[in-house]
Structures are given as C-alpha cells and as structure tokens.
Structure 1
Amino acid sequence: MTIKSISSRDNPLYKELKHLAASSQARRKAGRTLLDGVHLCEAYLEKVGLPPLCIVGETAMLNGEVIVIVQQCSGTATQCIVLPDALFHALSQVEHGVDLLFVIDTPDLPTPPRLTQSAVLLDKVQDPGNFGSIVRSAAAAGIKQVFCSAGTTFAWSPKVMRAGMGAHFLLEIFEGVDLSDLLGRSDIPVIATSSHAEKQLYELDLRQPVAWLFGHEGQGVTDDLLARATHRISIPHLGDIESLNVAASSAVCFFEQVRQQTSR
C-alpha cells in the first residue's frame, strides 16, 4: 500500500485542499468537491468508482472500515494521502467523525432538450440541509433527474452532500437551469406546490411521470413559474401551521406518487 504523508501546512497540495474545503467559489472553479466520512466514500466507490484523491487522518488509519477503503484506492490512479489529525481537522466540517475524505470531480451535465421523465425542479432553494433532504427523498422515490435554477444552493457542497447521504450518485443533477424555458419544453405535467392553492395533492393522478416544482424556503415558487405549472397544489394538514418545510413537502409529494404507482 503506497500512501504519501504530508505533515506541513505549507505543502502546496495541502494549501489547495484547504482552499477547496473553505470556498464554494473554489469548488465551482475547480469542478471538484469533498466527500466527508466513511458512508459517503463507500457510496461513491459503490455507485461511481474510484476518486482522484483519498485523504486520511493518522488516527483513522487504525479504523478497520477506513483501511478497507484505502486498500481499494491504493495501487490505482487514486492518490492517497495521510495527514496528522490536526491538519485533517482543518479540512473537515464534521465533528467527531471518522477522518476520511475523498476529493471528487463534480459532474457538469448538459440540460436535456425536454422533460420526459419524473423529475424535481428547484427554484432558488437555498438551505443545504433542505436540498440534501430533497434529493435523498427523490432518489428513494425512484426519481432520476433534478434541475436547479440559478440562485439554488450549490448541489455539490459538502453540507449538501452530507444531507443527501449518497443520493447524488443515483441522480442526474443539472445546475444553472432556466426553469421557465425548461417548462416550455415539458412533455409531462408540471406540479407546483403552493400553500394558497385550492387543489390538493391527493386529487391528482400521479401514476404517470410528472415534474415536481418546489420554491424558495420563504417566498416559494416565483409567480412566473407558478403560472406555467400544469397544476398548483397544496398539501392538506390539520394543525394550525401555514405550510410545511420544503423538504417535508417534497417527501410527501414523492411518496404519494410512489403509493399510487405501487398500489393495485
């Protein structure tokens, strides 16, 4: 097993990694991001393959799960690096985790010409936890595509990746999409959620592919996109709460579709 050891904060590669860990702009420019922890790294190996770079803290080299992962990476094109714990912790945003990181290339996919299969459209969803939860629910519901408008949080940020729990590797995620233009090229119904809509989710026939449109945590879906949706629906609830969190709303919608598609 060949692993390079870095012990200096002034090492050029370490400086590059610190910049990547700290800056969303740097991640976008480099087309790379960080996967933090055993679960995400295992998911990447299983669903995608070997990463360009594997980084391990010294103490984590005593962990059996980490050893297995490092063995998979070493002896391949993957560069494996071990860091003193203090240097590793300056890269990681996880407290009390297992000190393992992958640096991976982030996909840059061309937007498909038309909407033809069940998909999720996100209009300026900004909270990383919400985004990660939405894509995790979407993947669990068998949805394959996610389209993100400009102003939506970066899909491949470490916080979003942790919340997604590996769902990213099951999805095609398109960023910077003109959703208005995409809605004009949809071959399937587009369903937008709105707390003010009169039609309820459970009135719809969801046995066919649909595109789910969800909006900003505070303002919701913008008026121009709302006007272009095939259906505008609300989710009924009994408590004295105006609306559900966007991640909760999406899960309810996705699994009502699953229920209808799997019921006899």
Structure 2
Amino acid sequence: MSPLPWERVRERVLRPTDPLSNSLPWGERAGLLVHQKLLSQARISVKCFQAARLFFGCLKTRFCGVRIAHQIAKLLKKWGGRPHNLHENKNMKQIQSPQNETLKSLAKLLDSAKERRKHRLAVLEGTHLLETFLQQNQQPEQVFVPESRWHESETQNLLGRLPEHKITLLATSALSKINSLTHGETLTTVFRLPENPSPAHVGDCVVLERVQDAGNLGTILRSAAAAGVGRVILSRDCVDVWSPKVLRAAMGAHFLLQIHEDVDLLAWRKTYRGRVLITALNAQSQSLYHLNLKENETGNAWIFGNEGAGVSPELLAQADVCVQIPMLGATESLNVAMAASVCLFEQMRQRIA
C-alpha cells in the first residue's frame, strides 16, 4: 500500500466536524488520528498511545495515517507494549458467576489467616500495592480485574507488565462474592508469601510483642521502612502481618522489609548480640533524646508491646535500655505505632545529621 498524498491525509485529519480541527497544529491532529486508531484496536497500552501522540505531535513530514498506525503499533509493541483487548484475548480467564470456585478461594484468602498460612498466599488490594509489588521485581500468582476498571489507563499500564495467563477479568455479577471483603471494585492481586527465615543475631530491627491492631502493625512497618530499619520480628501472637488490613495500612512496606513471623522472643533475645531498647515508664527509663542512637557494629533492636498491656515483664527484664519519650501536658503515653515512629525517626535523625 503506497502512502496517501498529504492532501488526502489532511482531509482525514482536518474534518470540519472535528472540534479539534481549529485548535491543534497539523502534526498534533495527525498524531490524534493515530492515537484514536490504536485505541480503537486496543493494540497497546495507554502509555504507548500517549507516546505515539507526542511523537506525531512533533512530526512535520507527510505520512499515511492508517498505515503508520499499524507500523507504530508494531514498533511500540516490540518496545514493551502488549495487547490487552477485553473481547479478543483468548488466553485471558474470565469469571462470570459469584459461585466460581476460584472466586470462593479468593474470598477465603481475604477473610481467613488460616487459609493464608495453609496455602502461603495473600491478597493485595488496589493499583498502588500492585505497582509497589511489581517495582520489587515480584510476579503475582493472579490479578483479578473488575470489568468496570478494565479500560482505566492506570489499570492498563499495570496489566501491560503481566503475562495474560496471570490476569482474570471479573464480571460485575461476580463481584458480589468479594465486595463485602474488599474496598469497592478494585484490582485484587494474589501473591505467594516469602519464606520465613530465622532472624539474624545482629543488626537493626523492630520487635513487636502481641500487637493486635492491624492499622498499628501496618503503620509500624511503614515507619520502619521509611526510617531505614530493614527487619521486623513478630511474636507468635501478633495480628496476621499478611492480612488485607495490614497490607493496606503498610502501603507496600512489606516488600521493602524482611519480616520474621511467629518468633519466640525470649529465645531470640538469648542469641541477639545487639543493644535492646524497650519503651517503658519506670525509674530506670532514659529520655529518648539523651540516647546515642548512631550506628554501631551490632545494631539496635527496638521492642514495642501490646496496645493495652505493653511489653511483658519477662521481656522487659531483658532490656539493655528502657526508653521514655518526653511529652508535654497531661498525656501519659502514645499509641504504639506513634511511639515506634518517634523512636525510629529519632534514630534516623541522629544518623543522618
């Protein structure tokens, strides 16, 4: 097929009925035609559509709109774009019924810590957590996409980085099975849990004993990652660290940390060679702001306890330093997540000063 004369291309792009015909330069209008052509054929991701439009917005030479659309689709597909057509992809799984067995299994993973432990699987909700997960070079087991979110640019950009057999489309009729367990119609990602190695005997870490609130645990994980503490150790009776609520509160911090679950803290303390600091109100407590928290060879372990009862007497007796956070006014104590954040960021402040 030979290129069409430039005047015929102009006629196709500069249609009198096109509201853009008097507001855009010729190259940009031509780019818009290519953009629309690719979009209508669902050839590549939205990010590639935008790249094509920007490219042709600068082009001043003659070309055939239809032919170049196919050529640029091939090039951009080679560069990383990949088709995700809602109706034409034969490898993509679709679920229409809320009674589907896969959907039932997903609902159990969302609702039950026992199921998550049994199958070593957990569930992420939303595009942000999936984006963070993929940024760490991880691959999900399966991503469930509500039909209503399919054509969103953010969704398509993420799905373009996944093989089609890992994507399942959820019809609106099927969403009732999990809607009560998730935050609205959002992407739901099933991923395999990492290994649970024994904690190291040295190095900075956060140690949590019997923390029960999912929001508190998620916030502590997020603060630890932000403050440069790479390991978190959890006692056997902490809330499930891989529950959807903790994952939402942590905002992707799970994938930046090494997490050790179900640890016997008294046994761990016998082998840990670093300094152990515990927040407590007693006669031996030292002000947080009088401590030297700069880096040392063996590291600091910060221990925080249950929201109501604090650290157990048995573990408190193992502290090298009891720490008090100075406060003005009549407030007696801080929420455990806030206390952990204050301590970790004071440590970071001293190290970067």
**TM tier relative to shorter chain:** over 0.9
Query: What's the offset of the Cα at 1:193?
Result: 0.7
SS at match of 2:322: strand
The equivalences for 1:67-86 within 5 A come to 67-75=156-164, 79-86=166-173
Q: Look up the match of 1:62.
A: 151
1:216 aligns with 2:314: no
Match of residue 4 from structure 1: 93
Determine if contact 2:104/2:177 at 8 Å carries over to the other structure: no
- Conservation of the 8 A alpha-carbon contact between 1:53 and 1:80: yes
3-state SS, counterpart of residue 66 of structure 1: helix
| 1:89 Cα deviation from its structure 2 partner | 5.3
Q: CA deviation at 1:68?
A: 1.3
Q: TM-score, normalised by structure 2?
A: 0.71
Q: Contact conserved, 1:48 with 1:169, CA < 8 A, in 2?
A: no
Counterparts of 1:215 and 1:28 in 2: how far apart (Å)? 24
Whether the 8 Å contact between 1:126 and 1:152 is mirrored in structure 2 is yes
Query: Quick one: which amino acid aligns to residue 214 of structure 2?
Result: P
Structure 1 residue corresponding to 2:231, chosen from 145, 170, 176? 145
Pair 1:256-2:346 in alignment: yes
Could you tell me how far 1:48 is from its partner in structure 2? Answer: 3.8
2: CA distance, partners of 1:46 / 1:252: 28
Describe the superposition over 1:171-219 as per-residue Cα deviations: whole angstroms up to 9, x where unpaired. Answer: 0000000111111111210100113353111121100221100000000
Are residues 188 and 169 of structure 1, via their aligned partners in 2, closer, same or farther at CA, if it must alter by over 3 Å?
A: same
Instruction: Report the alpha carbon displacement of residue 113 of structure 1 after superposing the two structures with TM.
Output: 4.8
In structure 2, the residue matched to 1:199 is 286
Alpha-carbon distance between aligned partners in 2 of 1:182 and 1:138, rounded to the nearest angstrom? 20
Contact 1:195–1:243 at 8 Å: present in 2 too? no
**Pairing 1:124–2:201 present:** no
Q: Which residue of 2 aligns with 1:159?
A: 245
Deviations 1:43-88 (A, max 9, x none): 000014220101000000021101111121134xx52101123533
- Decide which structure has the larger Cα Rg and report it: 2
Does residue 88 of the first structure (1) align with residue 178 of the second (2)? no
Distance 1:74 1:246, change over 3 A: same
Distance 2:118 2:320 in 1: 37
User: TM-score, length-normalised on structure 1?
Assistant: 0.93
* 8 Å Cα contact 2:98-2:177 kept in structure 1: no
In the TM superposition, 1:151-190 aligns within 5 A as 151-190=237-276
Deviation readout 1:95-139 (Å, 9 max, x if unpaired):
35x51011011123221351x111000000010000000000000
Contact 1:122 1:213 in 2 (8 A): yes
Contact 1:54 / 1:73 at 8 angstroms: preserved in 2? no
- Asked if structure 2 preserves the Cα contact closer than 8 Å seen for 1:199 and 1:233, the reply is yes
Please state whether the residue corresponding to 1:212 is helix, strand or coil: strand
Q: How far did 1:34 drift?
A: 0.5
Is 1:55–1:100's contact at 8 Å kept on the other side of the alignment? yes
Q: How far does residue 10 in structure 1 lie from its aligned partner after superposition?
A: 2.3
Alignment partner of 1:105 is 2:192 = yes
**Letter in structure 2 aligned against 1:166:** G
The match for 2:140 among 41, 51, 56 is: 51
Q: Return the alpha-carbon distance in structure 1 between the equivalents of residues 176 and 109 of structure 2.
A: 14
Unaligned runs of 5+ in 1: none
Percent of aligned pairs with the same residue? 39
Structure 2 vs 1, CA of residues 187 and 61 (structure 1 numbering), >3 Å: closer, same or farther?
A: same
2 CA distance for matches of 1:89 and 1:47? 32
Aligned residue for 2:241, secondary structure, equals coil
Question: What SS does the aligned partner of 1:73 have?
Answer: coil
Unmatched tracts of structure 2, length 5 or more: 1-83, 85-90
Is the Cα–Cα contact under 8 Å of residues 195 and 235 in structure 1 kept in the other structure? Answer: no
Q: Which has the higher contact order (CA 8 A, sep 6+)?
A: 1
Report how many aligned residue pairs link the two structures.
Answer: 259
Q: CA RMSD in A?
A: 1.5
